[in-house]
């Protein structure tokens, strides 16, 4: 199954972190748009979170970001396997 056609993935976009400076994070989308990433209070106060963001920035990794609220997603690209019935795909209800 192509992830691009799954309804759950339509709310997720890929972005590359381009700037990390407390308390802001800026990311660039695949289309070249720049976003201000919205962070929770817990993320803002977590020094390990900021260290990991700098590591992601240096590695130039792409991360999943919510399309509507521009938040980092911890499981954004994971989609459950399609249901099967004795090897046959079962349509979603």
34 neighbors 28 (Cβ within 8 angstroms): yes
φ and ψ of 59, to 5 deg: -80, -10
Q: List the domain range (segments joined by +) for residue 45.
A: 24-71
pLDDT digits (tens, 9 = 90+) for 69-90: 999 988 766 666 666 666 665 5
Percent of residues, the chain, with pLDDT higher than 90:
65
Structural domain includes residue 6:
no
User: Which of 46, 4, 3 lies closest to 23 in space, CA to CA?
Assistant: 46
Structural domain includes residue 61:
yes
Structural domain includes residue 4:
no
Structural domain includes residue 66:
yes
Structural domain includes residue 2:
no
Whole-structure pTM value: 0.74
| 62-66 vs 34-36, strand pairing mode | unpaired
| Residue 68: DSSP 8-state | T
Domain count, the chain: 1
Could you tell me the pLDDT band of residue 4, with boundaries at 50, 70 and 90? low
Q: Mean per-residue pLDDT for 12-25?
A: 95
Averaged confidence pLDDT in the chain? 84
CA distance 24 to 21: 5
């Amino acid at each position: 199954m192509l992830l691009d056609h799954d309804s759950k993935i339509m709310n997720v976009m890929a972005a590359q972190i381009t700037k990390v400076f407390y308390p802001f994070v800026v990311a660039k989308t695949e289309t070249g748009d720049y976003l201000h990433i919205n962070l929770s209070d817990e993320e803002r106060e977590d020094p390990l979170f900021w260290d990991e963001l700098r590591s992601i920035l240096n590695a130039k990794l792409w991360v999943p970001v919510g399309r509507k609220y521009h938040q980092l997603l911890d499981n954004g690209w994971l989609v459950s396997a399609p249901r099967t019935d004795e090897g046959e795909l079962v349509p979603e209800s």
